[in-house]
Structure 1
Amino acid sequence: MKLSANAPCPCHSGEKYKRCCFPYHKGMLPSDVLKLMRSRYCAYALDLPHYIIATTHRANIDYTEETAAWKESIREFSLNTRFSGLKIIEFVDGESVAYVTFEAILNDTPFREKSRFLKENGKWLYESGEFQ
């Protein structure tokens, strides 16, 4: 999905896309897991599977070296899902492990997850999530 840089960011931050998640989608590293989590939600909404793959830790259950199949799976999810809300519940920062608990609305159905992120070589990566 193409989005104007001046459009509201799909992560529901209230910021314009160009000032919110766009820099991360273009290669800038998020400085904390809250920004990474929001940019991943946005990447799903915008059908950017390369970003999801690049920000997923190898220990994640979905991680695979078969990136073509993984990319197609992400694309199918993105294209068949309405991303209509994101609310941050809790953000616990750390040096090498951090957590974000959030509530998202996908296809008009809310769900809550506590996401775990690991810092590897100076880069935060999504490792796992636990539904709440």
Structure 2
Amino acid sequence: MVTDESRCPCLSGNPYGECCGPLHRGATAPTAERLMRSRFSAFALGLPEYLLLTWHPRTRPEALELDADQRWTRLDVLATESGGPFDSRGTVAFRAWWRSDVERGTLEETSVFVREDGRWYYVDGVVG
């Protein structure tokens, strides 16, 4: 169980209560990278409602079922382009590690984000 004092699953180096925790409780992400990190943490913590909430309505699926056997263990941000507090669009390239009881793997993606009405949303991504 993750507490506010625990290391944040996104590996920012900050405690969960100062990093992704506030975003998971409703605070607005200031940048596309912060939203992407909070979405990784949501996968790691099993928070599909947050993932749907932060997914742009144009591309959001009706429902999202997470694989309970898949554990997300590490996130490396490889590059960002735009996505700052005054931008309306940005991209974040990342590599994420996962494992299950029978296998391990990585996901490398360049994610596209848009900011509308002061909130960042995940639009889609290109898996690399």
How far did residue 5 of structure 1 move?
Answer: 1.1
- Once the two structures are superposed, the pairs formed by residues 62-73 of structure 1 within 5 Å of their partners are 62-64=60-62, 70-71=63-64, 73=65
> What displacement does 1:93 show?
1.4
**Residue ranges of structure 1 left out of the alignment (5+ in a row):** 65-69
TM-score (norm 1): 0.86
Unaligned runs of 5+ in 2: none
CA RMSD in angstroms, aligned pairs only: 1.3
Aligned partner of 1:110 in structure 2 is 106
Bigger fraction of residues in helix = 1
SS at match of 1:11: coil
2:41 corresponding residue in structure 1? 42
**Where do 1:24-103 residues align within 5 Å?**
24-60=23-59, 62-64=60-62, 70-71=63-64, 73-74=65-66, 77=67, 79-94=68-83, 95-103=87-95
Q: CA deviation at 1:44?
A: 1.1
Corresponding letter in the other structure for 2:61: Y
1:57–1:63 contact (8 Å) kept in structure 2: no
User: 1:5 is matched by which residue type in structure 2?
Assistant: D
Higher strand proportion: 2
Instruction: Tell me how far 1:99 sits from its aligned partner.
Output: 0.2
Which deviations, in whole Å up to 9, do the C-alpha atoms of 1:22-60 show, x marking residues without a partner?
010111000001000000000111111111111000222
Spell out structure 1 runs of 4+ moving beyond 2 A.
none
Q: Secondary structure at the match of 1:38?
A: helix
Shift of 1:96: 1.4
The answer on whether the counterparts of 1:117 and 1:126 sit within 8 Å (CA) in structure 2 is yes
TM-score by length of 2: 0.88
Instruction: Return the alpha-carbon distance in structure 2 between the equivalents of residues 12 and 84 of structure 1.
Output: 9
* 8 Å contact from structure 1 (residues 57, 127) kept in 2: yes
